[in-house]
Amino acid sequence: MEIDNNTFVKETDYKMYIFESIGWVGSGMTLVAYTMALSKESILVLNCLGCSGIVMVCLYKKTYQPVILNSAWIIGSIYNYFK
């Protein structure tokens, strides 16, 4: 049975575009939470969702420094919400 390598490449590219999009949306959400005057609830949601998106793409790419940074950002956001 012959395997078509082009199909595999297209599937891999498709997954990469999805993860890249999640990362870019996450970056945008985090920047909006950082720069805009919003309620504490909005800041918490935007930071947690945004940083989680960045963490997902970084884990997929196996780049662990941003994972630590964004995890700390999530923890800081939760701390600021409840203080």
The mean of the pLDDT values for the chain is 90
In a domain, 78, yes or no: yes
Helix or strand or coil: residue 68? Answer: helix
- DSSP string for the chain: ----HHHHHHHHHHHHHHHHHHHHHHHHHHHHHHHS---HHHHHHHHHHHHHHHHHHHHHHT-HHHHHHHHHHHHHHHHHHH-
- Counting the structural domains of the chain, the total is 1
In a domain, 2, yes or no: no
pLDDT at position 14, please? 84
Q: Is the pLDDT of residue 2 over 60?
A: no
Asked if residue 79 lies in contact with residue 43, where contact means CB atoms within 8 angstroms, the answer is: no
Q: How many CB atoms lie within 10 A of CB 13?
A: 10
Name the pLDDT band for 8 (thresholds 50, 70, 90): low
pLDDT at position 5, please? 57
In a domain, 73, yes or no: yes
In a domain, 48, yes or no: yes
Residue 66's domain spans which residues? 9-82
**C-alpha 58: how far from chain center:** 8
In a domain, 13, yes or no: yes
Tokens of 73: 């950002």
